[in-house]
Structure 1
Amino acid sequence: MTLRVRESFWFLPALLGIAAIVLAEVLVAVDRAVIDGGVRIAVLDSLSASGGRSTLTTIGTAMLTIAGTSFSITISVLATTSSTYGPRLVRNFMADRANQFVLAAFTATFLYAIVVVRSVHTDVDDGSAFVPVIAVHVAVLMGILDVGVLVFFIHHIATSVQITSLQKQVQVDLVAAVDQAFVDRDDAHDAVTVAPHGPDREGGRTIRAAQDGYVQSVEWERLVSWADRHDRVLDLCVMPGDHVIVGDPIAVVHVADTATDGGAVDDDGTGDGAARQVRACIMTGTARTPLQDVRFALQQLVEIAVRGLATGSNDPYTAVSALDMAAVALVPAWRDGERVTGYLDDDGTVRVTPHWPLLEDLVDSVFEGVRTYGEDQPIVLRAALRLAERLADAGRDARAASAEQTASVLRTSLDRAERDVRS
């Protein structure tokens, strides 16, 4: 739910819209109290009813127009980004707090203006004129600030559509996802373990999916808390990025070795409701997200690189920068990272066992894309070779040998591509 709210265009505008309506009503009430108390504010007192109404109408109309224009610009940028760099990058704009705030600022000012304007009365309207001068001047101030917001929006949208900005955001998502799946064995915190998985447990009760979609995120702390309360061990059958349909197994619940009872968890989620509680911790949706899906986060960078190598784009430098940015996340994990194999309770007992992807498989997916689409591009092959050499220097034992083998293959491909270019 939190993820869906974060990536929606409606939540922040709705929140600021409600705040604007409340502020408008409060300031109108303050204006009434000031007028009834006979207090005169010299700076704010020179405003007629028609002038106040005209000012508010102008501000409201302008803000609604600008909000529509800003939204149109955003949609145009989304369409361009989708066709050029990949449709999966659209969510970066949807989740961009700056874009959400800009739309929220304009709509909130509009709502504030129309709520205040309804309180303006002339002598002709009801026999007694009322102009909420404080509220009107606050509307003017909001309009001035919105001009600054408009300038910021133009700058931000022009910056965010640049390929380097898109790649940087994807890199940030990748680093965050890698940090969740892999930790330094020596610096592993008390909540996780990187020890090898123990022997497979027999039996257990299977919890099955109640809806179809992609697993978008898992609330590990809630699962650990649930397993600790019931003295159980949860073995997840799915991980972020996996697709499930109704009836697929998503977790197997085992009685912990320390349990003194043989309590069971039902298959269909009825009865004690344990299955429903576990399902509530595994969020599914119609699309993958890089929040915890390390494979998808890396896939986004690879996709940008591959699209740069397409015949229509013919932009190998985009692929080069994508490979360099992938190194920021992959090289430290290759040097010191170990897969998280268990989430622990406060007593250090493994309560949830995840199945994160192997780091070697993630690295292979990068080089697979390069070898498939960039074999005739010396510039890209040099960048891939640079990444492989960094991994070889950072790796230990089998990892170093694997990276060196990949580097050897890339050197051969690079020599062949350079000969083809010269000929």
Structure 2
Amino acid sequence: MSALRVRLLRARESFWFLPALLGIVAIVLAQLLITLDRRLDGTDFGAWGFLFYRVGASGSRDILGAIGGSMLAVAATSFSITISVLATASSTYGPRLVRNFMSDRGNQFVLGIFGSTFLYALMVLRSIRSESNDGISFVPDIAVNVAVLLAVLDVAVLVYFIHHIANSIQVSTLSARVRGELVAVVDSLYPETSPDNAVAARSVPSPSAVVLAQSSGFVVGVDEQALVSAARAGDCVIELRIGPGDHLIVGEPIAIKSGDVDSDVDEAVRGALNLGDTRTPNQDIQFAVQQLTEMAVRAMSPSTNDPYTARNALAELAVGLVPLSTRPTPLLGRVDGEGNYRATLTRPTVTELVDQVFDAMRHYGLGNPLAVTAAAELGQRIGTATVHSEIRVAVLRQLAALNRAYGDSDNDPIDIESGRTRIVAATTAITAQR
């Protein structure tokens, strides 16, 4: 992922980007319409004149003042509602899911259209002149009529916002959005067909040198092409030791490279890594899995006690993990245009992702029979679908650990017997696939 794309993604997830863009558009539109009004001042539109209401300078000021003041109040109210929803989502589903609301185009558009209408009305209002001031009168009738149309549009936008914010807080909507991010990162990092320059990973030939980090933060993306170009420029082989989601501090090793130390190559390797203050699911599949796992874990907390949400989150995890378990093992080596081996990447294995989910369920979900059953169903789905023996072994190991832990729990004996029966059924179905 290039640095430019990372910046664009960060801008997209920023709450200010679309509102700022709409505000600029509103100011430009106001100036253009005012200029048009000046050119057409005094023009008789004939039969089309009924489209424009001419209310004079005083009436136009009143209309624009009412529109601007009401839109600013509505924008403030909408912002307050959004902050309330963010607080609720943070406490219920986890603070890392707040970014889904921040990057939501609907929320950005609503606040942007309200704010831009206010700016438009303000810019048009300042252009109105009456004869009592300096003997020159000017009323931008076209711009005033457009302001009225924008106010009508804002009423529709307000209705949409109420529907959208109520829908976005629902568990199904939120989990579906996170599931979409998981599916996207699975398709990006574990494609069914390997890239043309992908080969099996190789070791870095001796002698080798270590590339150290010069800044701190989370790795949010790796520009593979830039890494290959850096290795080609230095005529060396680079092996990354970190990947998206890892946290770096100054002085930690990020890669090793063959050959003598070359500061230009080191700087190019650092430039191929995009660092940020927070993790994102764009290239970080562990974070994408973690979001749904955290949703399931928080739903099982005593303060929430909602095992149905946990079951829904585990079902959404299956949408990403089951296809992933059928994909070929990714080739982590990269060659340049001439076929020379240049770079070795790093990817989390599917077994690591499976362990991440089931370890959390075993530690936090034993008190919820529905969650245990859902975990067994997830294990069966992955274990029966996968074509890799190591993934099947990992699922069986996790199901066995879950069976032992659930048998030792303090749940009702009937629930324990039912849960263990479901776990055994999942284990039997997976074993039969061997």
Correspondences of 1:171-190 after superposition (within 5 Å): 171-184=179-192, 187-190=193-196
Kindly, what percent of the aligned residue pairs are identical? 45
2:304 corresponding residue in structure 1: 313
The answer to whether residue 250 in structure 2 is matched with residue 246 in structure 1 is yes
With over 3 angstroms needed to count, the CA separation of the structure-2 counterparts of 1:341 and 1:71, relative to structure 1, is same
Q: Offset of 1:226 from its aligned partner? A: 4.1
2:424 corresponding residue in structure 1: none
The answer to whether residue 395 in structure 2 is matched with residue 403 in structure 1 is yes
Contact 1:253 1:265 in 2 (8 A): no
Q: Offset of 1:129 from its aligned partner? A: 1.4
> 1:153-179 CA distances to partner (integer Å, 9 max, x unpaired)?
111111111111111111111122222
Q: Offset of 1:419 from its aligned partner? A: 2.2
The answer to whether residue 53 in structure 2 is matched with residue 42 in structure 1 is no
Contact 1:307 1:313 in 2 (8 A): yes
1:294 corresponding residue in structure 2: 285
Give the Cα separation in 2 of the matches to 1:420 and 1:413.
Answer: 16
2:59 corresponding residue in structure 1: 51
- Aligned residue type for 1:304: M
Correspondences of 1:70-89 after superposition (within 5 Å): 70-89=78-97
Structure 1 residues not aligned, in runs of 5+: 256-261, 267-272
Contact 1:205 1:265 in 2 (8 A): no
- Aligned residue type for 2:194: A
1:330 corresponding residue in structure 2: 321
The answer to whether residue 14 in structure 2 is matched with residue 8 in structure 1 is yes
Q: Offset of 1:233 from its aligned partner? A: 3.2
- Aligned residue type for 2:223: E
With over 3 angstroms needed to count, the CA separation of the structure-2 counterparts of 1:233 and 1:97, relative to structure 1, is farther
Contact 1:340 1:356 in 2 (8 A): no
Between 1:284-293 and 1:111-120, the stretch displaced more is: 284-293
Q: Would you say how many aligned residue pairs link Structure 1 and Structure 2?
A: 406
> 1:51-71 CA distances to partner (integer Å, 9 max, x unpaired)?
111111111111111111111
Q: What secondary structure, in the 3-state scheme, does the structure 1 residue paired with 2:40 have?
A: helix
Give the Cα separation in 1 of the matches to 2:140 and 2:13.
Answer: 37
Structure 2 length-normalised TM: 0.86
Structure 1 length-normalised TM: 0.89
Q: What secondary structure, in the 3-state scheme, does the structure 1 residue paired with 2:138 have?
A: coil
Give the Cα separation in 2 of the matches to 1:297 and 1:73.
Answer: 27
- Aligned residue type for 2:315: D
With over 3 angstroms needed to count, the CA separation of the structure-2 counterparts of 1:61 and 1:228, relative to structure 1, is farther
Give the Cα separation in 2 of the matches to 1:365 and 1:254.
Answer: 34
Contact 2:354 2:395 in 1 (8 A): no
Q: What secondary structure, in the 3-state scheme, does the structure 1 residue paired with 2:342 have?
A: strand
Contact 1:309 1:315 in 2 (8 A): yes
- Aligned residue type for 1:29: T
Q: Which runs of 4+ in 1 moved over 6 A?
A: none
Over the residues paired in the alignment, what is the CA RMSD in angstroms?
2.4
2:240 corresponding residue in structure 1: 236
- Out of 11, 25, 28, the position equivalent to 1:22 is 28
The answer to whether residue 350 in structure 2 is matched with residue 356 in structure 1 is no
Give the Cα separation in 2 of the matches to 1:344 and 1:6.
Answer: 32
Contact 2:233 2:265 in 1 (8 A): no
- Out of 112, 116, 119, the position equivalent to 1:104 is 112
1:207 corresponding residue in structure 2: 211
> 1:181-236 CA distances to partner (integer Å, 9 max, x unpaired)?
3233xx2232434x3x2123333443332221111122223333444455443322
- Out of 262, 286, 306, the position equivalent to 1:265 is 262
Q: Offset of 1:131 from its aligned partner? A: 0.7
2:150 corresponding residue in structure 1: 142
The answer to whether residue 214 in structure 2 is matched with residue 222 in structure 1 is no
Q: What secondary structure, in the 3-state scheme, does the structure 1 residue paired with 2:191 have?
A: strand
Between 1:394-403 and 1:73-82, the stretch displaced more is: 394-403
- Aligned residue type for 2:246: D
Contact 1:378 1:414 in 2 (8 A): no
- Aligned residue type for 1:118: R
> 1:358-415 CA distances to partner (integer Å, 9 max, x unpaired)?
1101101111111111223221121111111122211233333333343445456666
With over 3 angstroms needed to count, the CA separation of the structure-2 counterparts of 1:338 and 1:53, relative to structure 1, is same
Give the Cα separation in 2 of the matches to 1:335 and 1:97.
Answer: 33
Contact 1:183 1:338 in 2 (8 A): no
The answer to whether residue 416 in structure 2 is matched with residue 419 in structure 1 is no
Q: What secondary structure, in the 3-state scheme, does the structure 1 residue paired with 2:329 have?
A: strand
Between 1:87-96 and 1:170-179, the stretch displaced more is: 170-179
> 1:254-294 CA distances to partner (integer Å, 9 max, x unpaired)?
46xxxxxx8x521xxxxxx5444433332212221112111
Q: Offset of 1:252 from its aligned partner? A: 3.1
Q: Offset of 1:37 from its aligned partner? A: 5.8
With over 3 angstroms needed to count, the CA separation of the structure-2 counterparts of 1:219 and 1:126, relative to structure 1, is farther
Q: Offset of 1:151 from its aligned partner? A: 1.1
